[in-house]
């Protein structure tokens, strides 16, 4: 996955002469010392991260951790005090006003917590707004706005006013407005935080549905670790203006690295986070008996029947193999009653699909066999995950 957005050594100091504060921080001072000696507030301190193209990258932390300051520095609503912000290799920090306006119109869109809709304009006029600023002709921007409203399920509300919509619907309008510009990067700053829990969950599902098709690069700011786990490909956790832990959701849960990060992970249902890949037995050995290609598993009494491309055809009981050797017709003994899951199916969902007497297999997108699951392995893996420590022995944060 290629790198779309990269932040290198980013600082944001609120106050006059910020370079003095940057120098102190680079020399090892913390934000409290900068405040006491210089009277300046440290918003960001030496933040570096890489956002892959097409990923949902979560920035999370408690209030005052610097996550929203980071979002606003990336599109330069806040001016960085030092560091680089690279969009496809181009540094945004030195850009002049005209170049920056063009980046905001065409490359980066924002979705805000409180919708930020124009109250006196219709839904479709709100969605068109960014395109209008860009100078897109009226007919073209109307067509594009109608397209994205259909994508987010609001086509029949196009000519209503924002006050006629529910909170979740208004947030969809905000999302549609960002999508209409076809920007490369979406920054979503606490985009769902103001919504009721049920609507919030629905909006999270909606975003995942859209992302499966659109594959946008999304920087999502949140204070909710469960939201970060549900949506994110990678997560950066911030405290005191710094990134203290960064990685894939599973990595952070298994190895928080500090008590601060572990405090977010303690209530995580790991069976809902980790996937079938962790509990499967890889399909490696293939046995040929006559015209059949079989994949055995010493833990079970059945073998999986595959074709030359490893696509799953069915299953056969181990005791029936000798009957085939003796001349019985394979089609009379091979059962198609096999349950298939993908490698990224959550363990809890895979466990729910298990039925006694029906082999549970893991397949790739082409239905090619990659592994086997048994109830014993799934339960053992869930138990092992549940007993993992919540922080490393040192309690030291990962930078």
CATH number at residue 212: 3.40.50.300
* SS3 (DSSP) at 319: helix
Residues with Cβ within 8 Å of residue 372, at least 6 apart in sequence:
280, 281, 283, 295, 297, 299, 300, 304, 359, 360, 361, 362
Partners of 221 in the beta sheet?
59, 189
| Residue 112: per-residue pLDDT | 75
| Residue 210: per-residue pLDDT | 85
Q: Does one domain contain both 255 and 351?
A: no
As a whole number of angstroms, the distance between CA 396 and CA 184 comes to 36
Angle ∠(319,323,325) on CA atoms, nearest 5: 115
Domain end marker among 270, 288, 323: 270
Domain end marker among 270, 296, 314: 270
As a whole number of angstroms, the distance between CA 397 and CA 382 comes to 26
* SS3 (DSSP) at 49: strand
Q: Does one domain contain both 217 and 75?
A: yes
Residue 397 lies in a domain: no
Angle ∠(83,100,19) on CA atoms, nearest 5: 30
Q: Does one domain contain both 232 and 304?
A: no
Q: Does one domain contain both 54 and 134?
A: yes
Nearest Cα residue to 304 out of 322, 296, 292, 291: 296
Q: Are the beta carbons of 204 and 171 closer than 8 angstroms? A: no
Residue 260 lies in a domain: yes
Residue 35 lies in a domain: no
As a whole number of angstroms, the distance between CA 269 and CA 279 comes to 16
Q: Does one domain contain both 343 and 257?
A: no
Q: Does one domain contain both 232 and 314?
A: no
Q: Does one domain contain both 186 and 297?
A: no
Q: Cα 361 to the chain's mean position, in Å?
A: 26
Residue 37 lies in a domain: no
| Residue 385: per-residue pLDDT | 65
Q: Does one domain contain both 97 and 231?
A: yes
Q: Quote the tokens at residue 312.
A: 């799953």
Domain total of the chain: 2
Q: Does one domain contain both 308 and 225?
A: no
| Residue 217: per-residue pLDDT | 94
| Residue 115: per-residue pLDDT | 66
Partners of 14 in the beta sheet?
41
Residue 390 lies in a domain: no
| Residue 268: per-residue pLDDT | 77
Q: Does one domain contain both 363 and 249?
A: no
* SS3 (DSSP) at 97: helix
| Residue 253: per-residue pLDDT | 85
| Residue 298: per-residue pLDDT | 66
Q: CA-based diameter of the chain, in Å?
A: 89
Residue 124 lies in a domain: yes
Q: What is the CATH number of the domain that holds 338?
A: 3.10.580.10
Residue 30 lies in a domain: no
pTM: 0.74
Q: Does one domain contain both 257 and 322?
A: no
Residue 377 lies in a domain: yes
| Residue 109: per-residue pLDDT | 87
Per-residue pLDDT of the chain (399 residues; tens, 9 = 90+): 688 999 999 999 999 889 999 999 999 999 999 999 999 999 999 999 999 999 999 999 999 999 999 999 999 999 999 999 999 999 999 999 999 988 988 899 888 776 678 889 999 999 998 888 888 899 999 999 998 899 888 899 999 999 999 888 888 898 888 888 888 899 998 888 878 888 888 888 888 888 888 888 999 999 999 899 889 999 999 999 999 999 988 889 878 989 999 998 877 776 667 788 888 888 878 888 877 889 987 677 788 999 989 999 989 888 888 888 888 888 888 888 899 999 888 887 888 888 877 889 999 988 899 999 888 888 777 676 666 554 443 344 433
Q: Does one domain contain both 151 and 293?
A: no
Residues with Cβ within 8 Å of residue 209, at least 6 apart in sequence:
none
Using only the alpha carbons of the chain, give its radius of gyration. 26
| Residue 251: per-residue pLDDT | 86
* SS3 (DSSP) at 24: helix
What is the extent of the structural domain holding 82? 3-8+49-270
Domain end marker among 270, 302, 332: 270
């Amino acid at each position: 996955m290629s790198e779309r957005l990269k932040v290198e050594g980013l600082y944001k100091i609120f106050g006059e002469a910020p370079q003095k504060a940057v120098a102190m921080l680079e020399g090892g001072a913390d934000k409290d010392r900068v405040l006491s000696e210089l009277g300046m507030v440290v918003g960001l301190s030496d933040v570096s991260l890489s956002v892959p193209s097409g990923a949902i990258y979560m920035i999370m932390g408690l209030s005052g951790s610097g996550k929203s300051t980071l979002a606003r520095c990336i599109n330069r609503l806040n001016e960085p005090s030092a560091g680089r912000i690279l969009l496809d290799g181009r540094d945004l920090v030195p850009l002049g006003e005209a170049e920056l306006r063009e980046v905001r119109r065409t490359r980066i869109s924002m979705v805000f917590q409180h919708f930020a809709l124009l109250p006196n304009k219709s839904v479709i006029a709100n969605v068109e707004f960014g395109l209008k600023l860009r100078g897109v002709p009226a007919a073209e921007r109307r067509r594009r706005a109608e397209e994205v409203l259909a994508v987010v399920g609001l086509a029949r509300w196009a000519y209503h006013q924002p006050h006629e919509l529910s909170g979740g619907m208004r947030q969809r309008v905000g999302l549609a407005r960002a999508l209409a510009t076809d920007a490369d990067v979406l920054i979503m700053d606490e985009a769902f935080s103001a919504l009721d829990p049920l609507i919030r969950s629905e909006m999270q599902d909606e975003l995942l549905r859209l992302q499966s098709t659109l594959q946008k690069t999304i920087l999502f700011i949140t204070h909710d670790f469960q939201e970060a786990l549900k949506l994110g490909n990678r997560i950066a956790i911030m405290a005191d203006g710094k990134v203290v832990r960064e990685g894939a959701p599973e990595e952070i849960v298994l190895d928080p690295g500090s008590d601060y990060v572990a405090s977010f992970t303690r209530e995580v249902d790991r069976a809902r986070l980790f996937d079938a890949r962790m509990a499967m037995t890889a399909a490696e050995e293939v046995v040929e008996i006559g015209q059949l290609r079989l994949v055995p598993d010493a833990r079970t009494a059945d073998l999986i029947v595959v074709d030359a491309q490893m696509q799953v055809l069915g299953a056969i009981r181990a005791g029936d193999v000798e009957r085939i050797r003796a001349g019985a017709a394979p089609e009379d003994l091979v059962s198609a009653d096999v349950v298939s899951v993908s490698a990224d199916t959550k363990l809890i969902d895979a466990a729910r699909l298990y039925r006694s007497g029906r082999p549970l297999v893991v397949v790739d997108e082409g239905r090619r066999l990659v592994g086997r699951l048994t109830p014993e392995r799934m339960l053992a893996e869930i138990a092992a995950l549940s007993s993992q420590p919540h922080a490393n022995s040192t309690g030291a944060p990962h930078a």
